[in-house]
Structure 1
């Protein structure tokens, strides 16, 4: 049977479109699960989606860190309600674009259980958010926040499920198309979580009694340098030290007490600060350090009494950027892997990556499971942890759980705020990674436009 040729009859299509959206989605999902074994002519859940048409005609309205900061700096009720109505329209618009992305995939790819799972999550969130009425008062805003929290929690499994789906659909979609698809969906996912978590944080701040100008602050209240999830004076040295301690602890636990873990030495402009979302930077630095520590340990496998060569980090502050160089002596990258360094879909070890990714969704299921490696979530983590962040799961995994998505995901995070990530490998010696961050916060988020989406 040619799966691409499957189409519903006119009567079947009319019947399906008359179902309530929740029933229709389940009916499509059931069809998708049985399509590969039965001669069912009902299409998967992403075919008839006329309700998306109105939303897909809208373009996303990009924002910058500076805009978010200025808007949230002096928080009033009218500003909070303005933020709510921006989020109320922006989230379903951006989700609708990604649903249309998935509708352009071949039928055989859409029946993949992981892609189908993500589609159903997105469609459910779209249906929930598009029906939220205009926010006119604080009670309306609280209802919107409840809907946002539901979506954030339900979407914890999106990253690993997407990564597994991409690895499994390459019989019907080329690796290059898979990488473009994955990049587009992840970039959009970052954007949605940024505006959703920023609004939740602003709401949390507004309801706190200490946020008014003359009100005394209790011990433990967030610093004035936080505006929602944005830390105005994000210090690169402090983030690096925090990530280094976490990465070294994970490595020590993973490799055992008799293996020496390399030290991390930080030099350069140690007082450099810039506005950023700390958890984004923590994730990128954390991935680079995890890779470097593992490479050094495995190349210089020595006992605890013989220290391996340290990892050198240099912070360089320029007029518009901060550049962080991470240098190790871990032997460089395997030549068989190097050409596929930034790819989600290409490269060796596909079966191992699938097996390891299969362990991540269970870790991301609940907040209790996020802490299974004895790394409790921080009080003020910057982004997401307070609102259920899958980054916490990815960052706290043991060193043997290699997913093959850390570097390409880090590159997407770096480029999202108009930064960059590059890596140079010296075979037999080590690697230098260069992470560039915009220190002015005035660059808009990098989004996929409708034109780019339609070209996929």
Structure 2
């Protein structure tokens, strides 16, 4: 017979694993029962305790009853092209009501998780961050003056800074809970919550950038911006070739930093429709292209090191980037000769919570407390910020493009050689957010072809879940 206390804990774990909450009221615990989970393969036990304050949900219900209002890149451009004080106030009030609406739906999604999952300390911390932000923004009154808008911008900046912990906390929580809930459910939850996070940062950072533009000494209210500039965070004419070349240089610098001195770095060649352009959020494209190139460069280096008789003397095979411009979209193909994707990794390529390297990913994520999910937060050894946006802004002739630090990425850093195992699934979330796509084809023993498709016209709405999952029940 097991001791009574151990029996009690075991029964609690079994019960809470099966529990599905039918009403958010049911989540309010009468007592906080410690839950014990076996160690993650290293022989230790980890104690999980429920510390989240599950508030009364009547006020949350009122906001969940509202639907999020999706936007498109074209709407952002048209609205911000002729910026006036009246338009700035309209933007402020859209953000003031849209942020708590979108956050409320994601809080409700978290409340739908099994109780044993939401008691995980990382998931619980994210819940607390979300509820704090929701509670702050729902109390903000209508924005009528420039002073009101300045106070709103301070709240937005505070939220963006505080939420830099969300991605690593979510990723660690999901990995620790991967045995308690199906991989399909975890990945669906992560895709929904990360896409919603991107959407909130887009509208928040867009408003901050518009406010910054409006108060700039060079700006004349009502004056139209040219095609070579940014409208808020939207780069009006994003030339694919230029972005790829900037990312290629940054990734090659990272590879030199992460590998032994003298390591040969593969050349990155760009061909095809070199004039292809489209409106886009530059930091989104940089992140996707950066992650794809980073994987390709490292795979080529490692294969060349294994196969070549003299790796220091011979040049590794190049990485070819091909641009294809069609009427509705632009396709970027990245082809490498890095040997392809290992069989044991391939089934989990797009999963946040499963895979053979789970323990290693958990350890690595613990070293990245803040994560903006931008290429700019990756730093080489000498500490230089990879400010690709500033380069693009310089090409555009100044303006406001480089003055706003997108996603506060300068506050977060990632070692260049640290593998988190979430670059590809997060890149797909970014690609699909503006109705694009990301696919990989692995050629065993040879290499990988990655296909990134981007909507060329900017007229596709952001792809996000506008209602919480339980609203459909």
TM-score by length of 2: 0.83
Matched, 1:337 2:354: no
- Whether the aligned pair in 2 keeps the contact of 1:197 and 1:384 (CA below 8 Å) is no
Which of these residues, 225, 242, 254, is aligned with residue 229 of structure 2?
225
Match for residue 239 of structure 1? 243
| 1-structure distance, mates of 2:358, 2:431 | 25
* Correspondence list, 1:45-444, <5 A: 45-46=53-54, 48-212=56-220, 225-301=229-305, 303-361=311-369, 373=381, 374-376=383-385, 378=387, 380=390, 386-389=405-408, 393=412, 397-399=415-417, 401-444=418-461
- Give CA-to-partner distance per residue, 1:292-339, whole Å, 9 cap, x none: 001100101153321000000000100010000000000000011111
| 2-structure distance, mates of 1:145, 1:167 | 34
Q: CA deviation at 1:445?
A: 0.3
Q: CA deviation at 1:171?
A: 3.0
Q: CA deviation at 1:5?
A: 6.2
Match for residue 35 of structure 1? 34
Q: Which runs of 5+ in 1 are unaligned?
A: 8-12, 18-27, 216-220
Sort the Cα spacing of 1:390 and 1:346 in 2 relative to 1 into closer, same or farther, 3 A: farther
| 1-structure distance, mates of 2:192, 2:264 | 40
- Give CA-to-partner distance per residue, 1:252-284, whole Å, 9 cap, x none: 111122211101000011111110011100000
Sort the Cα spacing of 1:188 and 1:364 in 2 relative to 1 into closer, same or farther, 3 A: closer
TM-score by length of 1: 0.86
Q: CA deviation at 1:176?
A: 1.0
Over the residues paired in the alignment, what is the CA RMSD in angstroms?
3.2
Sort the Cα spacing of 1:166 and 1:47 in 2 relative to 1 into closer, same or farther, 3 A: farther
- Give CA-to-partner distance per residue, 1:187-223, whole Å, 9 cap, x none: 00000000000000000000112111799xxxxx998
- Give CA-to-partner distance per residue, 1:205-260, whole Å, 9 cap, x none: 00112111799xxxxx9985210000111011111011111111111111122211
| 2-structure distance, mates of 1:244, 1:224 | 22
- Whether the aligned pair in 1 keeps the contact of 2:268 and 2:321 (CA below 8 Å) is yes
Q: CA deviation at 1:44?
A: 4.3
Q: Which runs of 5+ in 2 are unaligned?
A: 1-7, 20-24, 37-47, 393-400
- Whether the aligned pair in 2 keeps the contact of 1:252 and 1:259 (CA below 8 Å) is yes
Count the aligned residue pairs. Answer: 427
| 2-structure distance, mates of 1:79, 1:427 | 54
